[in-house]
Chain A
């Protein structure tokens, strides 16, 4: 052993495979994956957990997460999760989705799974853009934000408004826990991990959907360095998508906490 146990300060959870991540350097997807897997590991529920990968940059999430997984059609992960959870009511089921997947093509499945109160967790990575297909406008793209299909910036008069789907699902009776996070600093990573733990613990209560948005970067799509992308995210994304709890234990939190 290269490191003696008493000197070990960090080790990769065995619930992440050894496969090199397919994400761009600096992308938030890998951190979100790892935190979810650390939670599954710490709770000792690998044998009872089924994950769903979306269509998007994280389409191959099942290559990296060392659990049983199923890959969904674009936007349909909440429908798959519904089918799986209804068949395995005692297992932990979660979806992992991007903003195009969850808030554009999959809006109906998102809203109805949340409204029915499926006893699942939804992890929603909002990077304001379609990463995988090369940086097109997403429903979450900010007003004025450039993308490959809004090269002069999103003109809301022509292209419509960004959708705050997280606030929307918080209004539905079937959501039990709704919270918005980021993973760009160690503090935020720790907060997200606590929220992810809550999302899994909640499934024991049978009280409905736990919905966690992670506001993240897409430095490739935004055409920025990772550091600049994180700075841009803090300055532009967080004011529009404020971090913090929106609904806890089925009750709306009156004021979302300010961006950190």
Chain B
């Protein structure tokens, strides 16, 4: 059994970063995730594991430090919140184009613009459909607990290196700020010793030089490169779909929610069942790849579905694509940092489907 602690989500993420053997973190302060760098700084990771910690001059600089450091083959990460993640998009596109692994955390806040520091899930489109320029995807992990803020660091790095592609953890102001018990995993060795054959380590006579680049001026070559990237995304769709189901098998009505909204909807399911409504909840853990197959299967069994998000309705589009018209898909959500209560969700379900 690992060490148990009461921690904020952001702190659990930072502690997990050190324990995962991460080699470097580069970031820039922004609410509601500043605790990540503050926790790291207090821990002096250079003394604990030799991990590099550097506060950059901007999110643009931070992601490009990540891009450089990722090219050395090491385990590197950054974290930010919505406006900062927008600034990182060009760098993320370069990381994908150059096929570099890294871990990125977005503790989402309400937008658009400077918006609010309160929680939101309005960055779903940006996270799952690309975000930066060019055709690309990242595996998007959506933690719904402080425990997952820790566990997904390890998982995220494994997936990033498996696919040589950035992995995004899409969290939110609630999961980042709330305190829960977390069981921490044991300290892992830093990646420093394992040798990446593709990395910039310095050209030795026994090999060709290693070049990290996303430029292909020849469109035919660039198209081949795109096909290679697309094949990776297809493999992710076959192998990496993760979700969790609550009371789905006998459900008449299915709620679909991720992150903090899934936590709220777990309570909504209980409240609905107490009223005699057979509700269930499907929680996508990976937002890309999306649990399309499972949602499609459930579409044949339920009377209606409702996506519940802290947004104007973004994930609901992927639910509708999965359902393909087989069953009615409703949406309920709050915006701008407002958070729905479990009761509100049940009321919305009753109203949408004229239950009872």
| Residues of A bordering B, CB below 8 Å | 46-50, 52-53, 59-60, 62, 66-73, 76, 79-84, 86-88, 91, 108-109, 112
Contact = CB atoms under 8 A, between A and B. Distances in A.
Contacts of B68: 52, 70, 72, 79-84
A83 B94 CA distance: 15
B53 to A, nearest CB: 9
A254 to B, nearest CB: 30
Contacts of A62: 209, 211, 213
Interface stretch (B200-208, B242-250, B337-345): B200-208
A91 B60 CA distance: 24
B116 to A, nearest CB: 27
B133 to A, nearest CB: 11
B312 interface: no
Contact of A88 (B56, B62, B72, B90): B72
Contact of B215 (A60, A84, A87): A60
18 contacts: A46-B203, A50-B202, A62-B211, A66-B209, A68-B200, A68-B209, A73-B94, A76-B64, A79-B56, A83-B66, A83-B68, A86-B54, A87-B24, A87-B69, A87-B76, A88-B201, A108-B57, A108-B61
B61 A70 contact: no
B24 A71 contact: no
B123 interface: no
Contacts of B72: 50, 83-84, 87-88
Contacts of A50: 72, 200, 202
Contacts of A109: 57, 60-61, 64
Contacts, number: 125
A109 B58 CA distance: 9
Interface string B47-85: 000001010111011101111111110101000000000
B282 interface: no
A82 B25 CA distance: 12
Nearest to A46: B203
Query: Which size bracket describes the interface of B in this complex?
Result: 35 or more
Which one of A52, A59, A88 has the greatest number of beta carbons of chain B within 10 Å? Answer: A88
Per CB-CB distance, the 7 closest pairs between chain A and chain B, nearest first, are A80-B68, A83-B68, A83-B69, A79-B64, A83-B65, A76-B64, A71-B213
Interface of B: 23-24, 26, 52, 54, 56-58, 60-62, 64-72, 74, 76, 90-91, 94, 98, 200-205, 209-215, 217
Contact of B74 (A49, A66, A68, A87): A87
B95 to A, nearest CB: 10
A80 B65 CA distance: 5
Given A62-B209, A112-B61, 20 more contacts: A47-B204, A49-B202, A59-B215, A66-B209, A67-B202, A69-B200, A70-B71, A70-B213, A72-B68, A73-B90, A76-B60, A76-B61, A79-B56, A79-B61, A82-B68, A83-B67, A84-B68, A87-B69, A87-B72, A87-B74
Nearest to B67: A80
B200 to A, nearest CB: 4
Contacts of B69: 83-84, 86-87
A69 B211 contact: yes
A82 B58 CA distance: 13
A79 B94 CA distance: 14
Contacts of B57: 108-109, 112
B168 to A, nearest CB: 18
Contacts of A73: 64, 67, 90-91, 94
Nearest to B72: A87
A40 B71 CA distance: 21
Contacts of B61: 76, 79, 82, 108-109, 112
Contact of B71 (A47, A59, A76, A84): A84
Nearest to B100: A70
A5 B186 CA distance: 61
A204 to B, nearest CB: 15
A82 B26 CA distance: 10
B193 to A, nearest CB: 13
Contacts of A112: 56-57, 61
B214 A71 contact: yes
Contacts of B90: 73
B216 to A, nearest CB: 11
A49 B209 CA distance: 11
A49 B200 CA distance: 9
